[in-house]
Every structure is written in structure tokens, then in C-alpha cells.
Structure 1
Amino acid sequence: MQFKALAIPLCVMSLVLSGCADKYVEPDQYSGFLKDYSKLKEEKSPSGAAVMRWIDPKVDAGGYTSVYVEPSQLYPKSQPTAKIPQKTLNGITQYYDQTLKNAFSSALPLASGPGPNVLVVRPAITAASAETKGLRPYEVIPIALVAAGVSAATGIRDQDTSLATEAAFLDGTDNRLVAEVVRKGAGADLDDSAQVLQASDFKAVLDIWARDMVKSYEQLKNK
């Protein structure tokens, strides 16, 4: 009995100490939105976040005189749930569109469509989720583990939210791929499993993504 009583806490402890959220989107999590994932490499964004990215070494970033931001997509086709309703998914893409346009307009005039010397930004939201928070180090006490387990089972533990994006950057003249990026980020924490996700829970991470895209463009242009 003593062995069984110790086995569960030790097992959970090992998960706590060894498990942590992956910084990069793993290949088996790619959505299929991008045409070619084979060129992606682990990089750091201008804000220091982990991203999978590829930039055509021959691209002339300074040759673009305007930018066209395509409407953000939900890819694959959205599957709304009680936790993440369609209204939230629509709100996320609408905000993504607006923050991308706001960010890029500081670097280039906005175009109404593809064309010569136009950089085309094609973004997609590829995942949105909410998961019960993992155990914190101070909870690796057997008594606390029991309490934490009960809390998780009854849905009263805090929940982490996350969002993933894939984006392609195309030459507006010939639709040639010049860059692509895959990344994920954390949204706002939810109080419990009953709380419904809102688009506003992801505004901060969407703002960061947009700023990073523009800074990456500006860095490439100034090389």
C-alpha cells in the first residue's frame, strides 16, 4: 500500500519537473496552411520569442513600396465549441487583421490588393486552446498534490490559453513565396474551466506577433 501511495505523487512530480510547454510549434502540429514547411528553421523573433521561420536570402525587402494584408483565416476550418465559440474565433481574426494593418502601415503604405512592388501578407490562425495549468513547484508536496488533483478534476484550477499562427509573405508581382513563419503564444489566463474564451484574451499576443512581423521586415530592409 505504501508503494502505491507514493507512486502517484512521484509520477506527478516527474511530470512537473520534466514537462514544460514547447516553445516551438512541432511539425506534427503544422496545419497545412503553408505550402512548404521543409525550409523552416528555429529562430528568434525581434521580441526574443521562439519561432519557426524562413526568409528567401535573395529577397529585396527594399523593393516593396506598399503592403497588402489579406484577411486572416481560420485554418483548418474552425470548429467552435462551448469553450471557444464562433464569435470568439471571428473576433480573433478580425483583431489580427486590424493589428497587422496598423503595424505594417507604420512601415509601408497599405495597398488594396497584390501588384508590382507589393508585399502580400497572408496570415492564418491555426490553433486556439485552453488547458488546465500544470502544477507549480510549490505544489510538489504530496498533500498539495492531492488537493491540486481534486481542483483539476472539479475545474477550479486556473487555465492557460494559447494561440498559433502561420503566415506566408508573397511577392505581389508573381505570387512568389519570400518568407514564412510559424509560431505560438500565450493568451490571458482563465480563472477556471467554465470560463469562455474571448477574443480580448488574445489581443496582447496578436499585437506582439504583428509588431514582430514589421520589425523583421524593417531589419531585412536595413541590411
Structure 2
Amino acid sequence: MKLALMMSTLCIATLGVAGCSSKVVEPDQYSGFLKDYSQLREARSPSGAEVMRWVDPKLDINKFTSVYVEPTQLYPRPQPTVKIPQQTLNGITNYYDQALKREISKSLPLANGPGPGVIVVRAAITAVSSKTEGLKPYEIIPVALVAAAVSTASGIRDQETTLATEAVFLDGGSNKVVAQVVRKGTGKPLSNDTQVMKTEDVKAVIDGWAADMHQSYLKLKSK
């Protein structure tokens, strides 16, 4: 019993950094946003995060001279709640768009639409479930913003915010898929189960995703 309590406490203490559950989105949590998940393999992003990723081995990254970032989707379309209002959902997708454009435009000019020589970024905030040891699993909700209760040794429960994304990269001339990535991240903990989630709670997660996408492009470019 004491060992179990120590392990539980250790898990909670490190949850914000590493997490005791899987760090990648499991296959049973895939949303269906991507058409094919079969080629995804575990990999590490440039920042060291664990992701599920596939890049076409025949990809010629140098053929792309601009990038078009499609408006981020919420997939499947969620129903806002008191805890996760529509304002927060809109704020998250808008911020994701801004972050992607900000980071990727450091290396490629932004295009107004798809076409030859354009790489298209199509991203979505997707559904994921969350479970906590010893507590009733939360239902899968139609957006990956899950308030997962975790209990500490003192009996206090914090609320963990989890965000997940699936993104596909397309050749704007042929519409061929050239790369895909699925990943998740943990935002700021909420103080209790009544606190309303805000966009600011997950901005750091989104910034990390966007920065990794840009760094991944630079790595491919340097090969």
C-alpha cells in the first residue's frame, strides 16, 4: 500500500512534465481526421516530444516555395460546455492558425491558397479520452480538451488540461499527402473542477507544436 501511494504521488508530481500515461495518442484515440493511420510510427519531434509521424520517403522538400495554412478545424465538431465554452474553442483554433503561420513563415512565404510549389498544412484539434488511476474514466468528448481529475496524497484534486492534434501536409499541386503527425500535450492545470478553461491555458502547448513543425521543415531541408 505504501509503495502504491509513493508511486501515485510521484506520478502526480511529474505529470506536468512527462505524465504517467502514454505520451502519444493511442490508436483507439484517433479521431478519423486523417485518412490513413497505418504508416504512422513513434518518433521524437525536434523538441524531444514523443509523436506519431510519417514522412513520405520520396519527399522532395525543395520543390515547395511557399506554404498555405488552412484554417484549423475542431474534429469532430464539439458541443461547447460550461467548462469549455465556444469562446475558448474559437480562441484555440484561431491561436493555432496564428502560431503555425508565425513559425512556418520564418522559412517560407505564406500563400493565399494551394497550388504547384505550395505545401498545404491542414491541422485539427481532435478527440481524445483521458483516464486516471483509481478514478472513473472520463467519457470521450468531441474535442481533445479533457479535464482529468488526479488525486494527491492530501486528497486535493487538480484538473489537467489535455490537447491533441492531427495534421496532414499536402502537395498543393497534386493534393498528395507528403507527411502526417499526431500528438498531444498538457496545458496549465486548473485549480478545481469548476474553473472554466481558457485559450491561455493551452497556448504554450500550441506554441510548441508550431515551433516543432517549423524545425521539422528545417531538418528536412538540410538533408
TM-score tier by shorter-chain length is 0.7 to 0.9
> How far, CA to CA, are the matches of 2:113 and 2:178 in structure 1?
17
**How far does residue 13 in structure 1 lie from its aligned partner after superposition?**
3.5
Partner of 1:175, secondary structure, is coil
> How far, CA to CA, are the matches of 1:27 and 1:13 in structure 2?
30
**How far does residue 20 in structure 1 lie from its aligned partner after superposition?**
1.8
CA radius of gyration, larger in: 1
Letter in 2 for 1:162: T
Given the superposition, is the C-alpha separation of residues 197 and 58 from structure 1 closer, same or farther in structure 2, using an over 3 Å criterion?
Answer: same
> How far, CA to CA, are the matches of 1:159 and 1:29 in structure 2?
20
Aligned twin of 2:149: 132
| CA displacement 1:156-198 (0-9 Å, x = unmatched) | x221111000000000001000000000001111111110000
Once superposed, what is the RMSD of the aligned Cα atoms?
Answer: 1.8
Q: Is residue 68 of structure 1 aligned with residue 68 of structure 2?
A: yes
TM-score normalised according to structure 2 size: 0.84
Partner of 2:145, secondary structure, is strand
> How far, CA to CA, are the matches of 2:91 and 2:172 in structure 1?
27
Given the superposition, is the C-alpha separation of residues 81 and 205 from structure 1 closer, same or farther in structure 2, using an over 3 Å criterion?
Answer: same
Aligned twin of 1:113: 113
TM-score normalised according to structure 1 size: 0.84
| CA displacement 1:52-74 (0-9 Å, x = unmatched) | 00000100111100000000000
Aligned twin of 2:132: none
> How far, CA to CA, are the matches of 1:15 and 1:122 in structure 2?
40
| CA displacement 1:85-137 (0-9 Å, x = unmatched) | 111011000000011001111010000000000000000000111112343xx
| CA displacement 1:27-46 (0-9 Å, x = unmatched) | 00000000100000000000
Partner of 1:83, secondary structure, is coil
Decide which structure has greater helix share.
1
Letter in 2 for 1:71: P
> How far, CA to CA, are the matches of 1:191 and 1:205 in structure 2?
18
**Gaps in structure 2 of 5+ consecutive residues:** 12-18, 127-143
Aligned twin of 1:13: 5
Aligned twin of 2:25: 25
Partner of 1:133, secondary structure, is strand
Give the fraction of aligned pairs with identical amino acids, expressed as a percent: 61
> How far, CA to CA, are the matches of 1:194 and 1:103 in structure 2?
34
Aligned twin of 2:95: 95
The count of aligned residue pairs is 198
**How far does residue 21 in structure 1 lie from its aligned partner after superposition?**
2.1
**Gaps in structure 1 of 5+ consecutive residues:** 1-8, 152-156
